[in-house]
Amino acid sequence: MGVKRPIVPIALITPVAMIKKTPQIKIGTFLWLCLLVPLTRAAEPITSAWIINPATNQPASLARIRPEVHSVNPTEKHIEIRSAGLSLYDLGALQAPNDHLERIRQLRFRIPRCPIPAKQSIGARPDVWGVFVNGVPIYNLFEATSYQEQNLWHFDPLAQRDNSHPINLGMLPNLIADGTRHSPLLGYAFDGYPIYGPWGFGAAGELRRMHSGYRLRHITRRTALANGIVLTPAQYGPPVNDEYPLGTFVEDYEFDSCLGDLDEFNGRFAVTPEYPQGTYAYVLSTDAQGRLAFPYLLTGQYAGRVTTDELRAAFRDEAAPPSDVEQAGILFYQDKDAALTIHGKQLAAHQPLRLSFAITNNGKSVRHLEYVHERPLHLLVVSEDLEDFAHIHPTLTAGDRYEVTHTFPRGGRYRLYADYTPPGSAQRITSFVLDLPDRRPASVVRAASPYHVQLAASSPLRANTEIEFALTIRDAQTNQAVTDLEPFLGAWAHFVIIDERHESFIHAHPIESTPRAASHTHDVASLGPPPETIRTLTSFPRAGKYKLWAQFQRNGTVITQPFVLRVAAAPTNTKPATVIPPDAFKLNVSAHGFAPAQLTVTPGKPFKLAVTRDQLPNCANKIVFPALGLSFNLPLGQTTVIELPALPAGELSFACGMGMYKGVLIAQ
Ligand SMILES: [Cu+2]
């Protein structure tokens, strides 16, 4: 491929123009700076491409917040960039932070100096994916908000959904329009590869605007992801319509290798003015009409080789307290669905250990776990003797890992129950056993609870029997009923029940006073006023000793109240088996939801469903058809035959009484 030399002469013109004008930061200046800086230093671009603002004669308090890059420090393998994350150059929505920043930041970026192609790409950090040459972070644009906050259909913040509020793109439109030269180097991704504006050299050295390789999917219903994963009905996105047109969500796009100039990472290998020998580079992607086009800059997967630890160290706010256990992994478990790595100085109690989970689906790492009760993963840490209990929440980090730091109160054996829901799958529980040597005697002091918490059961505790529990909370001093509870993880309380042999794990939730079709993410607003009695339904798979932890929140504090339960053997089942009519559609429901979750029936004809509810604990005590205003009780471990009226062609959704499990009838 013939490669044209960079167009140096043009750059020289711009400085003259600049001197005359008021200090308005124009696109010209920005380009001039991007092009000129590297030339003057002729050093490797990754050390010289930065817009540096030296703190000459500035008091420290001002110097800390000055715009642009504060310093560039090359080390043997990395480049360290420092800035306050502020700039006079406006790249609009592309540099809009995910969260609202109320404080001064001292940012340090660390980027590999000599990038190499990755054999297998890894998932980016959840917050920042790279840095612009002006020291502003390249934020993760694609995971901040999602439909129903389920973390499955993520809103594309650059999708122009409302013409009355045009998205601010700062100087980007100029950058896109300016086809007179090779676009400038805009920044670096955390794998070390550069990021350019849209104009680059084509195969024949001609200047061309690069087109994205992504396109909108040909879908009318959002029931499967672009990677082929078929979602459960509880995970469906909204239909494609005026309110949610295609392009609303990041998941509305798919990569097409025959399309555009850029690969699935939104980059390509090319010669650029800064890299006359050629380099892999990410490119600000545009469409045929010259508009900014998905995925814009980075996709969240890197083309370059970068380790999880490198990504962890790639971005840090040195003004914020260090938060992490840095040590390498010291223990590793793997099961077919999940792997656990524990990091820390040593494997022992009384010190922080970083618990790092990698969730897989058919061997592929899963980045987006469905938010259930407001969290992607609930981790219950329980000591073997059921004395110690913790309910904590690992969060997404680099490499698609979910991590949380925990200090175990004493040594001994612990069970870690990870409760999560991958796309296309029902809830999963993966448990790990951890043995911790203990160097110090247990000194756990249990403070007296400020509450009298009572748990009453609707009937004697027997296995395989549905039990309704009623939880009442009174102030220990006044004995007054507590009436000002606060929602905790989207519910009035959470109940975790584990048996003494750690063979069964139950995560139960309150039966809200009013059955509702609301999504099972329990949006707090629909919860209504705090109840005086919190009820939940559950059952026990076998006789024996169980521990139940009830958790509720008041005045911002989560209270955990344990109860020991002794469950007797199951009553002998005298009920005759239900006769299932031959023309009935068969439906099962268990802790894994409805199976099948989608049923096709003939429109215009009444039909029967034979719903068999699993014996093992599950919260499907009812099946509800909100659109028909119908709901039917489902006794535990039995089959219930229900008759439904003729349906018009189309979809009819159904759910369990708590809106946890969902299904859909398709009349066609
Ligand atoms: Cu939780």
Q: What is the pLDDT of residue 102?
A: 67
* % of the chain at pLDDT higher than 70: 86
pLDDT tier at 94, thresholds 50, 70, 90: confident
pLDDT tier at 330, thresholds 50, 70, 90: low
CA pair distance 190, 373, nearest whole angstrom:
32
pLDDT > 80? residue 92 = yes
pLDDT (average), residues 522-548: 83
Q: Which of 615, 554, 565 is nearest to 589 (CA)?
A: 615
CA pair distance 488, 375, nearest whole angstrom:
11
Q: What is the pLDDT of residue 437?
A: 81
Q: What is the pLDDT of residue 372?
A: 92
Query: Could you read off the pLDDT of 381-401 as tens digits, one per residue?
Result: 999 999 999 999 999 999 999
CA 461 to ligand 1 center in whole angstroms: 26
pLDDT > 80? residue 31 = no
CA pair distance 273, 284, nearest whole angstrom:
16
pLDDT > 70? residue 523 = no
Contact call for residues 496 and 380 (beta carbons, < 8 A):
yes
Q: What is the pLDDT of residue 325?
A: 60
Q: Which helix (H) or strand (E) holds 8?
A: helix 8-20
Q: Highest mean pLDDT: which of 48-62, 405-419, 434-448, 617-631?
A: 405-419
Which sequence spans correspond to the domains of the chain? 323-436, 451-567, 585-667
Phi and psi, residue 93, nearest 5°? -60, -20
pLDDT > 80? residue 612 = yes
Q: What is the pLDDT of residue 101?
A: 61
Query: Could you read off the pLDDT of 234-272 as tens digits, one per residue?
Result: 899 999 999 999 999 999 999 999 999 999 999 999 999
pLDDT (average), residues 32-51: 67
Q: Which of 660, 367, 663, 366 is nearest to 521 (CA)?
A: 660
pLDDT, greater one: 175 or 129? 129
pLDDT tier at 55, thresholds 50, 70, 90: confident
pLDDT > 70? residue 617 = yes
Least confident of 48-57, 483-492, 523-532, 600-609: 523-532
pLDDT tier at 445, thresholds 50, 70, 90: low
Let me know if the fold of 323-436 is the same as that of 585-667. yes
Q: Which of 422, 378, 425, 373 is nearest to 148 (CA)?
A: 373
CA 533 to ligand 1 center in whole angstroms: 21
CA 495 to ligand 1 center in whole angstroms: 10
pLDDT > 90? residue 562 = yes
Q: What is the DSSP string of 146-196?
A: BGGG-SSSBB-TTS---TTSPPP-TTHHHHHH-TTSPPPEEEEETTS-EEE
CA 79 to ligand 1 center in whole angstroms: 39
Q: What is the pLDDT of residue 515?
A: 45
DSSP 320: S
Q: What is the pLDDT of residue 327?
A: 58
Query: Could you read off the pLDDT of 460-490 as tens digits, one per residue?
Result: 999 989 999 999 999 998 989 998 999 998 8
pLDDT, greater one: 544 or 577? 544
User: Which pair of tokens denotes residue 378?
Assistant: 């609930």
CA 657 to ligand 1 center in whole angstroms: 21
- Phi-psi sector, 528: left (phi>0), alpha (psi -120 to 50), beta: left
Query: Structure pTM?
Result: 0.84
pLDDT (average), residues 536-548: 94
CA 553 to ligand 1 center in whole angstroms: 13
CATH no., domain 585-667: 2.60.40.420
Q: What is the DSSP string of 412-450?
A: EEEEEEEEE--TTS--EEEEEEEEE--SS---PPPPPPS
Instruction: Give, in words, the CATH class of 323-436.
Output: mainly beta
Residue type, 483: T
pLDDT tier at 2, thresholds 50, 70, 90: very low
pLDDT tier at 527, thresholds 50, 70, 90: low
CA 616 to ligand 1 center in whole angstroms: 21
Domain 451-567 has CATH 3.40.50.300: no
CA 266 to ligand 1 center in whole angstroms: 36
CA pair distance 127, 114, nearest whole angstrom:
23
Q: Give the chain's mean pLDDT.
A: 86
CA 538 to ligand 1 center in whole angstroms: 18
CA pair distance 379, 342, nearest whole angstrom:
14
Residue type, 14: T
Give ion ligand 1 contacts, CB < 5 A: 378
What is the separation, in whole angstroms, between the first and last Cα of the chain? 56
CA 426 to ligand 1 center in whole angstroms: 17
CA 421 to ligand 1 center in whole angstroms: 12
pLDDT (average), residues 640-646: 95
pLDDT (average), residues 325-354: 81
Q: What percentage of the chain's residues is helix, strand, coil (to nearest 5)? A: 10, 35, 55
Q: What is the pLDDT of residue 587?
A: 95
pLDDT, greater one: 322 or 552? 552
pLDDT > 80? residue 331 = no
pLDDT > 80? residue 524 = no
CA pair distance 469, 549, nearest whole angstrom:
12
Q: What is the pLDDT of residue 580?
A: 92
Least confident of 135-149, 387-401, 515-529: 515-529
CA 556 to ligand 1 center in whole angstroms: 16
Contact call for residues 420 and 376 (beta carbons, < 8 A):
yes
CA pair distance 197, 181, nearest whole angstrom:
11
User: Which pair of tokens denotes residue 665?
Assistant: 């009838």
pLDDT > 90? residue 117 = yes
pLDDT, greater one: 540 or 515? 540
Burial tier of 583 (Cβ tally within 10 Å: 0-12, 13-18, 19+): exposed
Residue type, 386: L
CA 418 to ligand 1 center in whole angstroms: 10
Q: What is the pLDDT of residue 323?
A: 60
Residue 641 neighbours by CB distance under 10 Å: 14
pLDDT > 70? residue 191 = yes
CB-based contacts of 163, cutoff 8 Å, min separation 6: none
pLDDT (average), residues 280-285: 96
CA 120 to ligand 1 center in whole angstroms: 32
Query: Could you read off the pLDDT of 66-75 as tens digits, one per residue?
Result: 999 999 999 9
pLDDT tier at 32, thresholds 50, 70, 90: very low
pLDDT, greater one: 384 or 168? 384
pLDDT, greater one: 226 or 346? 226
pLDDT > 90? residue 36 = no
123, β-bridge pairs:
301
Contact call for residues 472 and 385 (beta carbons, < 8 A):
no
Q: Which helix (H) or strand (E) holds 17?
A: helix 8-20
CA 378 to ligand 1 center in whole angstroms: 4
Residue 12 neighbours by CB distance under 10 Å: 12
pLDDT tier at 518, thresholds 50, 70, 90: very low
Burial track 262-296 (b if 16+ CB lie within 10 A, e otherwise): bbbbbbbebbbbbbeeebbbbbbbbeeeeebbbbb
CA pair distance 292, 159, nearest whole angstrom:
10
pLDDT, greater one: 235 or 42? 235
pLDDT (average), residues 133-142: 94
CB-based contacts of 506, cutoff 8 Å, min separation 6: 495, 496, 497, 498, 538, 617
Instruction: State whether residue 32 is helix, strand or coil.
Output: helix
CA 391 to ligand 1 center in whole angstroms: 6
User: Which pair of tokens denotes residue 578?
Assistant: 């239900």
